[in-house]
Structure 1
């Protein structure tokens, strides 16, 4: 008789995991999957360092098509719905019935539900499991995750997600994870737009960023997002919160689209979206232009030197 630990290992390795999208979040997530015992196949990424690191830890590199054919659960962490749709289209002819695709990207829920319906005709399952927190938590395996899936599929994918997430919430049906993620990002990005404008106004009327922070930090308006935002605005750490302005703009466009479909006015969400639209239009669309850098763009627009 095998020991109980051996039984757990046998159960764990029954699933063969594929992973596409080894960017800021995906690299750490995939690292946790392979180091915690799951067979892992990854596909080529512009970040060769991530691929080479994972292969060094025991992963196999393959084309997206071969990854699809050899995996039972496939995770996607891609920039958005167009890239997810393209990846699914490439994989679809190679997927075996019973395979589960888990989209961890921040995607448009209408696209998510359409992909799920299309794949169901092939007896392939689809779930959405978007993330919250930063690449630091991805590497540490302590991300937050919100999942849209039926109960049986959630039970199947939850142990794998638990390799890289400390908080996992089963939101509801397919698409609900992405719906909740957009609401989550509306709150955080709305805060970012408010912080940037408040800091510009503070400086304009003679209150320094340090003085502003001395009042907010530790008070009722303090929070974890505020602290990472101020890691740049106050301390100058350009990588304090590595989420790009262009991704923020994309997420708020998706939120606005969801609200339009639900016939809900978006007075606040559209205002936040316009802050990021302006930032991207003013040169903030680069891969290292992150959300807290909005502070500088809003300051410049108001003639403030930080």
Structure 2
């Protein structure tokens, strides 16, 4: 891009706030949509952003519109409003964790209306969003990826083009499937151990530092052993949503999803019993409780 595009941002929550902050500080003209949480909006306005009252106004003022929303239903609603407002020549970058089945349908609808859709879901945490060092896996044509790269580089330390549109969301779901699958395995292993005289600290003393150790294991076990509630702030509700998308993708692909369905069902149970707002490592408590082991306070 020879001139900096005008940027719009919908969804300035925990992740979006830091991303938007880095873009406006890099000199991009930024318009944000009003958010129920006024604190990030007001912060961005102080940094030089402007606020739009609705999606149509934001779309009209911007060339590239970033979305960082809870999931596909919200993305579909916003993209529908952008199309209705007129999207000729505009690019929508969906940084949400969305269903690739929906993403491909939205790409076709935007293309028909003269726009472009790119999927660029995120990895890492709000801390890295603020520091501008997020990871992102991008689904886009090579030309679109190169065109958008200077903007993405404002908030991403690592940006990898993983394929055409939809591939980014597919890769993100595969990534989350691995971590959520590990969460289910850790939780069940801990419950079996507790029933048979192996407490969590002993389990961790063996697994920690060994071949099965990893960053995800460390944050999961920081809650299990140290009871640090903020060690891994990802809700079971969001985990369940991601696994529903993954199972939907497997079904559309004709894949027999034995493991993915089991992981999804465990998370569905957690949400059904009212624990959807608990963080992911707390799945270990739920699995223990369902098996007659009370780990709370241990």
TM range (shorter): over 0.9
CA distance in 2, matches of 1:227, 1:101: 36
- CA positional deviation for 1:152: 1.4
- CA positional deviation for 1:207: 1.6
Q: Secondary structure at the match of 1:256?
A: helix
CA distance in 2, matches of 1:204, 1:57: 55
Q: Secondary structure at the match of 1:234?
A: helix
CA distance in 2, matches of 1:47, 1:258: 33
CA distances 1:140-186 after superposition (whole Å, capped 9, x unpaired): 22111101111111111111111111111101111111111111111
- CA positional deviation for 1:220: 0.6
Q: Which of 10, 14, 20 pairs up with 1:24?
A: 14
CA distance in 1, matches of 2:192, 2:47: 49
Are 1:301 and 2:298 an aligned pair? no
Q: Which of 25, 31, 35 pairs up with 1:41?
A: 31
Q: Secondary structure at the match of 1:174?
A: coil
Contact 2:87/2:110 (8 A) holds in 1: no
Structure 1 segments, 4+ long, off by >4 Å, are: none
CA distance in 2, matches of 1:185, 1:281: 21
| TM-score (norm: length of structure 2) | 0.95
- CA positional deviation for 1:133: 1.4
- CA positional deviation for 1:96: 4.2
Q: What residue in structure 2 maps to residue 181 of structure 1?
A: 172
Q: What residue in structure 2 maps to residue 7 of structure 1?
A: none
CA distances 1:58-103 after superposition (whole Å, capped 9, x unpaired): 1111122211111111110111111001011112232442210001
Q: What residue in structure 2 maps to residue 243 of structure 1?
A: 234
- CA positional deviation for 1:36: 2.3
| TM-score (norm: length of structure 1) | 0.92
CA distance in 2, matches of 1:136, 1:201: 35
Q: Which moved more, 1:227-236 or 1:273-282?
A: 227-236
Contact 1:135/1:242 (8 A) holds in 2: no
CA distance in 2, matches of 1:130, 1:150: 16
CA distance in 1, matches of 2:18, 2:86: 25
CA distance in 1, matches of 2:246, 2:94: 17
CA distance in 1, matches of 2:193, 2:47: 49
Q: What residue in structure 1 maps to residue 109 of structure 2?
A: 118
Q: Which of 154, 164, 170 pairs up with 2:145?
A: 154
CA distances 1:29-64 after superposition (whole Å, capped 9, x unpaired): 112212222221111112211111111221111122
CA distance in 2, matches of 1:154, 1:107: 19
Q: Secondary structure at the match of 1:118?
A: helix
Contact 1:134/1:241 (8 A) holds in 2: no
CA distance in 2, matches of 1:262, 1:300: 35
CA distance in 1, matches of 2:224, 2:22: 31
Q: What residue in structure 2 maps to residue 141 of structure 1?
A: 132
Are 1:65 and 2:53 an aligned pair? no
CA distances 1:127-149 after superposition (whole Å, capped 9, x unpaired): 10011112222222211110111
- CA positional deviation for 1:122: 1.9
CA distance in 2, matches of 1:116, 1:67: 20
Q: Give me the CA root mean square deviation.
A: 1.4
- CA positional deviation for 1:231: 2.2
Count of matched residue positions in the alignment of Structure 1 and Structure 2: 294
Unaligned runs of 5+ residues in structure 1 are: 1-9
Unaligned runs of 5+ residues in structure 2 are: none
